[in-house]
Amino acid sequence: MADRRFDLVLFGATGFTGGLTAEYLARNAPARLRWALAGRNPAKLEAVRERLAAIDPRLETMELLVVDAADEAALAEVAKDTRVVVTTVGPYLQLGAPLVAACAGVGTDYVDLTGEPEFVDRMWLAHHEAAVASGARIVHACGFDSIPHDLGAFFTMKHVDTDGPVGLRGVVRSSGMFSGGTFHSAMGAMSRARQMRQAHAERRRSEGRPTGRSSRAVAGKPHRDAVLGYWLLPLPTIDPQVVQRSGAALPAYGPEFRYSHYAGTKTLRFAAAGMAGVGALAVASQVKPLRRFLEGKVPQGEGPDEAKRKRSWFTVDFVAEAGGETVQTRVSGGDPGYTETAMMLAESALCLAFDDNPSTAGSVTPAVAMGDNLLTRLQKAGLTFEVIAH
């Protein structure tokens, strides 16, 4: 790996979130980082390079790799040349599989932003064994899906008595916008509910369960949280699956781990409106013309200006109940959909490239792949992880 031309190759820098990721790397990556941009449009890649050179003049000569996301042979050559591949090119179910295959085949670490459960499950089924054999770490969901939730649960479990059963719930609140890519991915996932369930069931049959332990994602019900004081609305995102898989892989989560995932609102009226909105989108996703219309209203590759992003924020509160005690922690930060997502993705890639991480391979969660190293990086980058009550 040390002999490869690059430490990191970034796909998708010509898009909005990918561009923010490139800018974060230009400002914060160590000087020794050998990296390149990859994409299919050379003119757009050159424009991004000019923008990055204005941040760091040394990047005036950074390499640009012209490659199409569907060109398997070209993707394999890129993967052979680098230690870590980072991609923001989605929807991943449509565009992401060839790059995962290329990385799994040649032992190249891979990180993305996907929140698409079907894509993650199908990549596990198709490429997990090859990645284990090659030593590649395939790490999905390294943005707002699901870094705050996965690493927040990882942080919380350090403060919990895990001798017996542990019940953990995560409650997210945010003022920030979701990205166009996230919206398109969510609509695509809801339109494929049957295929998503099939892929999940097939993975569960193949993956098995930890010996002598259990870890489950439990779908909760709408209710008022007595500890937090919020009305809770179950969130059908990829986040509980990611946390559950970390719980299955890491003995530190205890012999019986349960996780539930919610959005939190201050009033019942907002909770009811949220339920109605999610239901309406789920129905719309099944009607192709209506789905296309809504997707057209939220274009990919665009996002809010810097001033609006600076006003945005998020919190994820965790409440763990174990052994008759309750522990409350919180993860908080700025704009979740863009600024913090770009930081989380970039720091995940740098962590894989440079840190002495746990020995693992295959399709693994962020907490399993990077654990304390990524937690430290996120804290240094500005995310707050704190114990509220113990």
> Which pLDDT tens digit goes with each residue over 229-267?
999 999 889 999 999 999 999 999 999 999 999 999 986
What are the backbone dihedrals phi and psi of residue 316, each rounded to the nearest 5 degrees, phi first? Answer: -125, 110
Residues 165 and 264 in one domain: yes
Identify the pLDDT of residue 308. Answer: 86
| Residue 274 lies in domain | 147-335+384-389
Domain-embedded: residue 223: yes
Domain-embedded: residue 58: yes
> In whole angstroms, what is the distance from residue 187 CA to residue 178 CA?
13
Identify the pLDDT of residue 390. Answer: 87
Q: What number is the average pLDDT over the span 28-43?
A: 97
Identify the pLDDT of residue 182. Answer: 65
Residues 233 and 134 in one domain: no
Q: Is the dihedral of CA 342, 345, 349, 351 positive or negative?
A: positive
Q: What number is the average pLDDT over the span 313-341?
A: 96
Residues 329 and 350 in one domain: no
Residues 168 and 295 in one domain: yes
Domain-embedded: residue 1: no
Q: Residue 363's domain is classified under what CATH number?
A: 3.40.50.720
Residues 185 and 327 in one domain: yes
Lowest pLDDT segment from 137-141, 171-175, 344-348: 171-175
Residues 216 and 116 in one domain: no
Q: How many domains does the chain have?
A: 2
Q: Is the pLDDT of residue 292 over 80?
A: no
Using 50, 70 and 90 to split pLDDT, how confident is the model at 302? confident
Q: Pick from 99, 101, 112: which is nearest to 141 by CA? A: 112
150-169 pLDDT per residue, tens: 999 999 999 999 999 999 99
Higher-confidence residue: 290 or 208?
208
Q: Is the pLDDT of residue 281 over 60?
A: no
Which helix (H) or strand (E) segment holds residue 118: the answer is: helix 117-134
Residues 173 and 291 in one domain: yes
Q: What number is the average pLDDT over the span 100-129?
A: 97
Lowest pLDDT segment from 26-40, 270-284, 321-335: 270-284
Identify the pLDDT of residue 277. Answer: 59
Residues 254 and 301 in one domain: yes
Q: Is the pLDDT of residue 44 over 70?
A: yes
Residues 83 and 113 in one domain: yes
Identify the pLDDT of residue 178. Answer: 59
Residues 289 and 155 in one domain: yes
Q: Residue 323's domain is classified under what CATH number?
A: 3.30.360
Q: What number is the average pLDDT over the span 101-112?
A: 98
For 162, 198, 203, 225, 370, the CA distances from 210, given in Å and listed in that order, are 16, 22, 14, 31, 20
Residues 230 and 158 in one domain: yes
